[in-house]
Amino acid sequence: MAIKLKKNLKAVFIIFLVSTIFVSYNVFFRNNEVLALSKYGSRGEEVRTIQTKLKRWGYYKGNVDGIYGSQTLSAVKWFQRKNGLKEDGIAGKNTLEAMGIYNSSGNSSSSNSSSSTNSSDLNLLSRLVYGEARGEPYQGQVAVAAVVLNRVEHSSFPNTVAGVIYQSGAFDVVSDGQINLTPNDTAKKAAQDALNGWDPSNGAIYYFNPSTATNKWIWSRPMTVTIGKHRFCK
């Protein structure tokens, strides 16, 4: 009788242990799809999405084949290095979010994913505004955010907020790391106003500071408005 009871207790313990591991796995992985990662040797649609975005932004020169090879590894490392992320060549949570990839399948059709996308866009746009335009008049901060959104709609630029902001060489604050600063409430409000449709830039897709700009090409662009230290143009 004692031996049978001991066996039964052992069986119950094993079942409990397996159940605990199973539940923990589901909580961590299924409820946190964004934590899925791609790395050297990975294959699939997420890798293809990563390659497509990096190729569009100028980091990746290879084929979009869904295979995480040496060229993809180098491109991811370059992207991480340029954007103040841990340069390990692994497309983990932070790297995927910076690329605008919000879950392991790249699917943004669900309401939860859409909400995550909107929240991520607001956060990233706020950081861009804070880095590029803090100290500028409020209208000028909204205008900087509007330029990003205008580029999203323009055929010459990436079609996502993350794509525009992280496009290679597009914004100095990405290169110097200021994009990672915590935005203040004014920057957040300015980003939200731009997302809500306010465009003080009058449709501009570029802006620059006339007192510091050395690029002759930017001076040739048709001006739409000047706000604070920034001249906005098309």
Q: What is the pLDDT of residues 32-51, one digit of tens each?
A: 444 458 999 999 999 998 99
Identify whether the C-beta of residue 105 lies closer than 8 Å to the C-beta of residue 195.
no
Distance, in Å, from the CA atom of 12 to the CA atom of 126, rounded to the nearest integer, reads 53
The answer, as to whether pTM is greater than 0.85, is: no
Instruction: Provide φ and ψ at 175, rounded to 5°.
Output: -65, -40
**Average pLDDT, stretch 19-42?**
57
Q: How much is the average pLDDT of 156-178? A: 90
Percentage of residues of the chain with pLDDT beyond 90: 56
CA distance 46 to 60: 15
Measure the CA–CA gap between 80 and 137, rounded to whole angstroms. 32
pLDDT of residue 190: 95
CB 128 within 8 A of CB 179: yes
**Is pLDDT larger for residue 3 or for residue 151?**
151
Contact 113, 59 (CB under 8 A): no
How many angstroms separate the CA atoms of 179 and 173, rounded? 5
- 8 A C-beta contact, residue 149 and residue 128: no
- Max Cα–Cα distance, the chain, nearest Å: 93
pLDDT at residue 10 greater than cutoff 90: no
Are residues 152 and 164 in contact, defined by beta-carbon separation less than 8 angstroms? yes
- Cα–Cα dist 174/196, whole Å: 24
